[in-house]
Chains A and B, each alone.
Chain A
Amino acid sequence: MTIETKTYNIDLHHVTRVEGHGNIRINTRQGVVEEVKLSIVEANRFFESFTRGMSPQEIPWVVGRICGICCVGHQLSATKAVEAAQGIRVSPQTVLLRKMLNQSQFLQSHVLHVYFLAVPDFVGTPSVMPLIKTHPDVVKRALRLKKLANDYTAVLGGRTLHPMSHTLKGWRRLPTLDAIAQIHDRLLAAVPDLLETVAIIKTLKIPPYQRETEFVSLKHPDEYALYDGDIFSSDTQERVAVRDYLRVTNEFTVPHCTTRWSRWHRDAYAVGALARVNNNFHQLHPQAQEVAQVLGLKVPCFNPYMNTVAQVVEIVHCTYDSLAMMETVLNGGLREEDIQHTPVAGRGCGAVEVPRGILFHEYAFDESGRCCDANAIIPTSQNINNIEQDMKAFVPQMLPSMSQEALTLHMEMLLRAYDPCISCSVHMLDIQFTT
């Protein structure tokens, strides 16, 4: 078939191996791309509406339910926003424990994405299930690493999903030093598994497509920014305070998505592992920088398929950084802190990096201390616009050499590379090819 005769109608409903419901629709007629559309078809849940009336302590606990896979990130971002609104300052101990909790979720989420959601595409299977027979060692290693990361979250938070041990100001129940020592030793013992992970990823053939875009992430003067920092743009090198986040996200609504879109200095911007690695490469742990080099990730990198590689780099960073934080806790010990708080009126914003990118929460409380306004802007909703722009740029490049099946797979892989979390952004993918 020559390019002139290529009339593809791709209509993919509920793209698989992503978190949430999304559709991709691509129509080409006689070699010309007529339509590329990425739809999020998730039902609305109205968190920003029904949180009104809640107490400051209830907010992080309830809004964690926005997303299972990034519940910790939502809790932490909301906690920071509520604390800003309530004029609460927290101790260095609490900050340290929160950084560990956040990194535990990075490990869990990145391992899940790399092994369960992304790797099957590269080895050509529809899911991880066939790998159980053909690559049992890989699957067992994936389960082992995932269990370790889950246990890490549970040690700090009380359980893996929707943890309840932490709240405003600090911890309701502190983790025991014994439990931290155990998880420290298990994490240290997992280093060979990490090296094997790097070895597998090195064998994957990453599609070589590039589109220059704006990368947005947190930036911190002293560390690879995951828990704290200012908002940073790779286009302007500008730093913006978190309280001015609306100046960055500039949300707008489109008919084919139930999520709102974002843009800043150009048509679209990207957040997530690749954005962070690009913006803050030199603050990564030296071991992580080395892994980036081994895997051929050189900044600036504009190939969105490399996001999976950036996640592996961050797995290594979080492992070594977590080990150091655990050692700090084990050397210094933990002490009970007063977490009592009487709600007051006020408004505040918070942001953290979560596995899929920068996450903003904002809350206001009235005179009775009840929530009267809420807003959350989620990484995937910031990325959706950028993903559609990638598709629009790549489809014409891919069309001459690819069958409809190959093109569909590459679009799905592109979407999955961003590791979209559509529950968060409300849900995602349908590729439609029309005949």
Chain B
Amino acid sequence: MKPKVAFFDFASCEGCQLAVLNCEDAFLDILNLVDIVEFREAMSETAPRFDVAFIEGSIHREIDVQRLQGIRARSSVLVAMGACACIGNVQARSNFIAPAENFKRVYGEADRNLVQSDPEFWPLWAHTRVRAVKEIVSVDYELRGCPIVPEEFVHLVKALVVGSIPSFPANAVCVECKMAENECVFDQGETCMGQVTYGGCKAICVTHGYRCDGCRGFLPQANRVAHQAVLREKGLSDAQIEHRYRLFCSAQFVGRENRR
């Protein structure tokens, strides 16, 4: 029987679901291998349980935590899909600002006071903080990046279908950037997060003229102290370095460092 696959979205841009729909060449082939039983962005069907659940988005509220736990309970395999689900993405930067201040900046003081005092506005507005999926439930596989790399998605689906273990080499972006024969960002007078960031993206941003901002998260074995020393050498202040580290990886950076 074909594995039953489902997609769920939490706080995100839903671009990773779109990246799945964008696998146009492989899309019909994938549908021959799996049954997509739930995919709210693209279809109305729903299902009671799943062999594989893909989770997009970060988790912000108690109602989202409960929904996620329900999905985990009904799934054999759970995949965190994209930077929001894996590391909280850019919105985790809001964790450094008090929720009351976040609401005030976005909705104004009067509306902030209203949504935080009138129970009618709860629980939709009960933001706590931005969390990665693995902070709530156990995660079997991670598809990294903002957005995900379609080839990695196809690789994972193929592996799960044939019952093998998908492999995502723990290279730095820097390694793949060399293989792509790009001129080093540091040599162009810019700075880059590629040395400490999970590869798998083939350094696509550098290839197209930009730098790496670390959207795929930090490699656990990366020497961040040495990387920060290099950034300092290139003239970045401690505040600027912190800013760069927190651009895409706030939840990961703070979560990990605090727990140690």
Residues of chain A having any CB pair with chain B under 8 Å: 14, 16-21, 39, 41-50, 52-54, 58, 61-62, 65-69, 71, 112, 116-117, 120, 126-129, 132, 139-140, 143-144, 146-147, 150, 158-165, 167, 171-173, 253, 255-256, 258, 260, 423
Contacts and interface: CB of A to CB of B under 8 A. Distances in A.
Nearest to A68: B15
Contacts of A167: 210
B89 interface: yes
A129 B36 contact: yes
B47 interface: no
A363 B97 CA distance: 19
Interface in B111-126: 111, 114-115, 118, 120-121, 124-125
Which of B12, B13, B124 is most buried by chain A, counting CB atoms within 10 A of its CB?
B13
Given A67-B15, A116-B42, A253-B115, A129 B31 contact: yes
A132 B31 contact: yes
Contact of A129 (B43, B111, B120, B208): B43
Given A116-B42, A150-B22, A50 B93 contact: yes
Contacts of A139: 28
B243 interface: yes
Nearest to B19: A161
Interface string B190-220: 0000000000000011011110010000000
B9 interface: yes
A391 B151 CA distance: 42
B154 interface: no
B107 A173 contact: no
Contacts of B115: 253, 255
A44 B122 CA distance: 13
Interface string B23-45: 01101100100001001111111
Contacts of A173: 208-209
A159 B21 CA distance: 15
A132 B22 CA distance: 16
Interface of B: 9-19, 21-22, 24-25, 27-28, 31, 36, 39-45, 60-61, 64, 89-91, 93-94, 96-97, 101-103, 105-107, 111, 114-115, 118, 120-121, 124-125, 127, 130, 146-147, 204-205, 207-210, 213, 243, 247
Contacts of A112: 18, 21
A171 B210 CA distance: 10
Contact of B24 (A54, A146, A423): A146
Contacts of B125: 44, 258
Contacts of A171: 209
B40 A46 contact: no
Contacts of B17: 68
B22 A162 contact: no
A399 B45 CA distance: 26
A57 to B, nearest CB: 10
Contact of B208 (A16, A21, A128, A164): A164
Q: Nearest 4 pairs between A and B by C-beta?
A: A68-B15, A127-B43, A172-B209, A158-B208
Given A158-B208, A162-B146, A260-B107, A69 B15 contact: yes
Contacts of A18: 41
